[in-house]
Amino acid sequence: MSGGSAKPKRRKAAGSALRYEHRPGRPSADQPKKRDWGCAVGCVAVPGAFVLLTPLYFFDQYWGDELWSDFAPAWPGGGYALAATVGALVPLVFLAWVAPLTRMNWKKSKPRSLAWAAASLPGLAAGYLVVGVIMGTVRPKRRRDWDSDCYSEGGPCWVHVHYPWLWAVGLAATLAAAALLITLFVTYAGRASATAPSTSEPEAGPTPRSPTGTGDRRPPA
């Protein structure tokens, strides 16, 4: 045994970690920054809403009173019949506007998509007329705003005084027309699925080599 005592060698300290773990709340430098569409959506949505609501405002101001004071009493059946007609038109014009838009597919064909978008414009125009007629009967929310213009002939308050159940008739007509459209759609879809040609091939008959085929042999008694 040697008398000298050798000191054990020290292990080298581990190198400092150069990689940092990515925290969940901190954006990574490798990930691309997402575009901020908030400003673009706001700049387009506000003018678009203004453009869509402007025709309804002018319709209510210039034709609303004359419509319910002159046109509604002359309608066959009076004001209630006009309310029922307008209520029944609500789901029809909505379908005429939305149905062409569902056929649009920009990735498949842009010209055809533009054609379908143009085909929805008549439904949109009819929707403006229907909504304009309905807005002619909407009273202000606050009673203190029911001024002389509201009670003038053809005004919203005047309409509700002469036709107190106008909203009920219009709502009932809307629900009835919507139920009829849904029934027709379900019936048409059921008939289309029943008359669709079957694409499955008929099963082939057993062959002599198949387990169930007997060929020229007769099965044992």
Q: Where are the alpha helices (DSSP H) in 103-147?
A: 110-119, 121-135
Structure tokens, 203:
């099963």
Kindly list the distances between the CA atom of residue 37 and the CA atoms of 30, 42, 43, 52, 214, in Å, as whole numbers in the listed order: 21, 8, 10, 22, 73
Give the percent of the chain with pLDDT over 70. 60
pLDDT, mean of residues 164-173: 93
Residue 199 pLDDT level (bands cut at 50, 70, 90): low
First to last CA, the chain: 102
What pLDDT sits at residue 83?
92
Structure tokens, 71:
């046109």
Give residue-wise pLDDT tens across range 106-126: 888 888 888 988 998 888 888
Residue 139 pLDDT level (bands cut at 50, 70, 90): confident
